[in-house]
A and B are shown apart, each in its own frame.
Chain A
Amino acid sequence: MSAYLLRRVGQFLVVLVLASIAVWAMVYALPGDAATVLAGPDASGPQIAATRARLGLDKPVVVQYLLWVKGAVTGHLGQSFYSADSVSHTLAERIPATVQLAVLGMLLALLIAIPIGTLIALRPRSLLARLSHGYLTAGLAIPSFWLALLLIITLAVRTHALPATGDYVNFWQHPVAALRWSILPAIAVAVHGSCIIARFLATSLSEVMQRDFIRTVRAKGVRESRVVIRHAMRNAALPTVTVVGIQLGSLLGGTVVIEALFNYPGLGRLLYTSIGQRDYAVVQGGVLFVVVVFLVLNLLVDLLYAYLDPRIRLA
C-alpha cells in the first residue's frame, strides 16, 4: 500500500508543479503585456515601466514564478485587471455557484444512470432496457448546449414554466428558488454525463454477473436482489467510480458553454468573459483552481480505488 501510495502522490506532486508552471507561463504566451494592459492605452513609457515594477515583472523569471507560487499557496492570486477586487475574491464569489451546479448535475446524472445501467445489465431484452438504449444513443449524440437551447425553447420561451436564464441562489437558504434557477442548466449537463456513466455501469455489471462467484452466491440460495446489491454492484461500482470522478472534475472545471448560454454566474462564464476582456490575472487564477481541483479529485479517486480493490494496492 505505502509503495503505491508514495508513487501515486509523487506523480500528483510532479504534475501539480508542471501545471503551475504551465498556468503561470501561459500569461506570457497570451497577446498583450500585462503592464501595458493595466497601465491603460494612453500610458507613457515610464508609466508602463512603473506598473511593470509594481507587478514585479522586472524581476528575474524564476523569482517571478516563485513569488507567484508563494502568493497562490497563501491565497493571494493578484489583482483583477478590470475590477477593484482581488482575484481570490472574484473566484470565491463564483466557485460556490459552479460547485452547486456541478453537484446538482452529478446527482441528477447518477439518479438517471444507476437505474438505467442496472436495467440494461440485468434485463437486456426487456422493453424498458430497449427504451433505455434509445435514451443512451440520443443522449450521447445530442450536444449539451443544443439540449440547453431546446430546453430554453420548450420550457422557458413557449410555456414559461421555468426561467430562460440561470442564476445562483444558495440551496441551503432557499432550496426551491435554487432549484428553479439552476434546474435547466443542471439537466443540460446531466444528460450527457448520465449516458456515459450508465454505459460504463451496464458493461461492468453485466460482466460481473457472469463471473463464477456470482454463481456460487446464487448456489448458496441467496436472494437475487441481495446477489445484485451486495455482491455484483460492489464489484461493478469500481470502474464506474473512476468515470464519476472524471465527470465531476470536468463539471467543477466549469461547464463554460452551458454557463454562458444560461448566463449562470459560475466559474466557467467568469473564465470565458475574462479571456475576452484579457483579464489575465483572473484567467490565471481560475485555470489554476480548475487544474488543482481536477488533479486532487483524480488522486482521491485513485486512492479510493486502491482502498476498495486490494489487488491494486498490493500489486
Chain B
Amino acid sequence: MTTLSMAAERVRARSGARTFLSRYARSRSAVVGAIGLLVIVVCAVAAPLLAPYGPTAQSAGSLLGPSGSHWLGTDDLGRDILSRAIYGARASLTVGCGSAALGALIGVPLGVVAGYLGRWTDSVSMRFVDLLLAVPTVLLALVITAVIGASRINLIVAIGVAAIPQFARLARAATLSIRDRDFVVASRGMGATTPDTMFRTVLLNLLGPIMVQLVITASLAVVVEAGLSVLGLGVPPPTPSWGGMLQEARGYLYQSPTFGVFPGLCLAITVFCMDRVGHGLRIAVGVESAGATTRAAI
C-alpha cells in the first residue's frame, strides 16, 4: 500500500513537471529565451575556458578594430573586448540575480504578513513600501551606494532594497486573494499557528507568481547595475562589466564607434532572454500578469 501510494506520488510529481514544461514550451520565444539565458550563464561560469584572453590582459594595440586575433577589437587599454564581454556576464548576472533574490527575501515575507494580518500591520508595511517606491530606482541605488560605497555586494544591497516594493505588493495582493479560501481556513481550523499558516500554506501557493517576478526583477536589476556602471558607480575596475565597458567606450566614440556597440548588445540580449523566460513561466504557472513592470527601468 505504501509502495503503491509512493509510486502514485512519483507519477504525479513527474506529470506535474511535465505539464509545467509542456506549458512553458507552448511559447516558442520563451524556449529561445531559456536557451539564450543558458548560454549566457555558461559564459559567466566558464569564462576562463571560453574567453580567448584574460579579462585584464593587455595586447600590443589599443582601440583596434575587429581582426582575426581580436574578433571584436580591443579597448582603450588594449584589452580584448570579446574576452571582457564574456567575463562581464559575471557582474551582470550576480548583481541582477542577487538583488532580485534580496528583494524577494525581504519583500515577500513583508507582503505575506501585511496581507494576512491586515489592520495596522498592513498599513505600516504598505506605507514603508510607498516610501521606497517614491524614490526612482537609480536615484535610490545611487544614494545607497554613496552611503555604503561601491562593491559587488553593496550593489546587490542597493538594487535589492529598491526591488522590495514589487515583491511586497505582489505577495500582499496574492495573500489577500487566498487568505479566506477553504484550504487556508482548514489549515487554521486544524490548529496550525499563524506563522505556520502564513509561511507554509499561504507562501507555498504564491511560489508561481513570485518565480515570475524574480525573473522580471532580475532583468530590471541587470539594467540598473549597468546604468550605475555607466555613471562610474558600478563594480569597481578593472573587473569587467557591460555597463563599465560602455562607460569606457563613451570617451572614444569618435575613434572607435564599435567599442560601444557590443557590450550594449550583450545587455539587450540578456534582458530580452530574461523577459521571454518570465513570459514562459507566466504561462507555465498560469499567472495572468504578475506585477507588471510599470516602473521605468532607467
A-to-B contact residues, CB < 8 Å? 11, 14-15, 18-19, 22, 26, 29-31, 137-138, 140-146, 149-150, 152-153, 157-158, 164, 189, 192-193, 196, 200, 203, 242-243, 246-247, 249-251, 253-258, 260-261, 268, 271-272, 275, 283, 287, 290-291, 294-295, 298
The segment from B10-18, B20-28, B51-59, B131-139 that touches chain A is: B131-139
Q: Does B264 contact A (CB under 8 A)?
A: yes
- Number of CB contacts from chain A to chain B under 8 A: 141
Residues in chain A near residue B38, CB distance under 8 A: none
Q: Top 6 closest A-B pairs, CB basis?
A: A146-B264, A141-B272, A253-B136, A141-B271, A250-B296, A257-B227
Residues in chain A near residue B250, CB distance under 8 A: 149, 261
Q: Contact check: which of B134, B136, B147, B292 meets A254 at CB < 8 Å?
A: B136
Residues in chain A near residue B136, CB distance under 8 A: 249-250, 253-254, 256, 290, 294
B138 to chain A, nearest CB (A): 5
Size range of the interface on B? 35 or more
Residues in chain A near residue B138, CB distance under 8 A: 256-257
Residues in chain A near residue B298, CB distance under 8 A: 143-145, 192, 255, 257-258
Q: List 19 A-B contacts (CB under 8 A).
A: A11-B130, A15-B127, A19-B131, A30-B146, A137-B272, A140-B272, A144-B298, A145-B226, A145-B230, A146-B264, A149-B249, A149-B260, A157-B254, A192-B298, A250-B136, A250-B295, A255-B298, A275-B146, A283-B143
Residues in chain B near residue A255, CB distance under 8 A: 298
Q: Does B253 contact A (CB under 8 A)?
A: yes
B-to-A contact residues, CB < 8 Å? 127-128, 130-131, 134-139, 142-143, 146-147, 223, 226-227, 230-231, 246, 249-250, 253-254, 257, 260-261, 264, 267-269, 271-272, 275, 289, 292-298
Residues in chain B near residue A258, CB distance under 8 A: 298
Bound-state CA distance A255–B246 (Å) is 17
* Closest residue on chain B to residue A29 by CB atoms: B147
* Closest residue on chain A to residue B228 by CB atoms: A257
Residues in chain B near residue A142, CB distance under 8 A: 264, 268, 271
Can you add 8 more A-B contacts, CB < 8 Å, to A200-B292, A254-B136?
A: A15-B127, A18-B131, A141-B275, A143-B268, A193-B296, A257-B231, A290-B135, A294-B136
B269 to chain A, nearest CB (A): 7
Interchain CB contact under 8 A, B271 and A164:
no
Bound-state CA distance A261–B250 (Å) is 8
Chain A interface helix/strand/loop/mixed: helix
CB contact under 8 A between A253 and B246, given known A30-B146, A143-B227: no
B266 to chain A, nearest CB (A): 10
Residues in chain A near residue B127, CB distance under 8 A: 11, 14-15, 18
Interchain CB contact under 8 A, B143 and A275:
yes
Bound-state CA distance A149–B289 (Å) is 32
Residues in chain B near residue A31, CB distance under 8 A: 147
Residues in chain A near residue B142, CB distance under 8 A: 256, 271-272, 275
Residues in chain A near residue B269, CB distance under 8 A: 141
Bound-state CA distance A142–B227 (Å) is 12
Bound-state CA distance A152–B135 (Å) is 29
Residues in chain A near residue B128, CB distance under 8 A: 18
Residues in chain A near residue B261, CB distance under 8 A: 150, 153
B237 to chain A, nearest CB (A): 16
Interchain CB contact under 8 A, B275 and A291:
no
B218 to chain A, nearest CB (A): 14
Interchain CB contact under 8 A, A192 and B297:
yes
